[in-house]
Amino acid sequence: MRGKLVAGNWKMNGGLASNRALLDALLPAVAGLDGVGCVVCAPYPYLAQVQGLLQGSNLAWGAQDVCQFDNGAYTGEVSAAMLIDFGCRYAIVGHSERRALFGDTDDVVAAKYQAACRAGLTPILCLGETLVERESGVTEAVVARQLDAVVKVVGMTGLAKGVVAYEPVWAIGTGRTATPEQAQAVHAFVRGCVAASDRVAAGQVPILYGGSVKAANAEQLFAMPDVDGGLIGGAALNAVEFSAICRSAAEAAR
């Protein structure tokens, strides 16, 4: 059975002092939680600090992106092997902010997913529709296209090595969370797409929900059968909120 997973995406926030304060508060609050994996995805420059503070704990860490190339003349980029050097287990790929603001196309996202797997990282693949797309009734077509681009490159067995995060763009950072039923419908659709060609992979791949998850709505979202946890933005910067979300996931896993 799949366990629950809660990953925090700090985005471009934090600093040496505030990261330490956040993790000092978070570590005792999530220690001993069963049935849930807890992860923080920090900005690149802080990965060494996070590694130093979290080594040996039950909090894993990861990056918010990864380069699709393994090494070479790619100024400003960070490779999957470099992330491994700093103890990262996870790398987010295809976050909607990267797709919208930094030109990450479906093909680039697929190549990043593949590069992460190649190095032994677990990619967290973000999928999701904009508000215009939802209102035009093309949510399923959009997430299927984003998923297919990755499956075309790594196959279903490759997909089963990662994590999928359904993040409706209209819910990210807006305070407008998808209802548990809206989330479940898309999660079931995604799982069905995988099951159509690989039932084993469909049973293995965790599908997280992301978009204005907070302590107050986590329990209802995590109670949905195809919601395997959350990708958390704003609330991941607050130890009380983030640890309460992790606790809700642990309770849902019981």
Where does this chain bind ligand PEP (CB under 6 A)?
9, 11, 167, 172-173, 210-213, 231-235
Give the nearer residue to ligand PEP in terms of CB position, either 93 or 231: 231
Report, in Å, the least distance between residue 232 CB and ligand PEP: 5
Cβ neighbors of 169 (< 8 A, separation 6 or more) are 96, 100, 128, 129, 130, 131
- Tokens representing 144 are 């299927």
Query: By beta-carbon distance, which residue lies closest to ligand PEP?
Result: 233
Q: 97, 129, 135, 167: which is the annotated catalytic residue?
A: 167
Q: Which residues lie closer than 8 Å to 94 by C-beta, 6 or more apart? A: 104, 109, 112, 113, 125, 126, 127, 146
Please report the DSSP string for 194-219 in residue order: HHHH-HHHHHH--EEEESS--HHHHH
> Residue 167 catalytic?
yes
With beta carbons less than 8 A apart as the criterion, state whether 41 and 7 touch. Answer: yes
CB atoms within 10 A of CB 251: 16
Q: How far is the CB of 216 from ligand PEP (least distance, A)?
A: 13
Of 95 and 191, CB closest to ligand PEP: 95
Classify burial at 135, counting beta carbons within 10 Å of its beta carbon; exposed 0-12, middle 13-18, buried 19 or more.
exposed
* Amino acid, single-letter form, for residue 53: L
Task: State the nearest-atom distance from the C-beta of 210 to ligand PEP, in Å.
Answer: 4
Catalytic residue among 95, 97, 129, 187: 95
Minimum Å gap between C-beta 4 and ligand PEP is 16
10 vs 86, which CB is nearer to ligand PEP? 10
Would you say 158 or 234 has its CB closer to ligand PEP?
Answer: 234
Q: Which residues are designated catalytic?
A: 95, 167
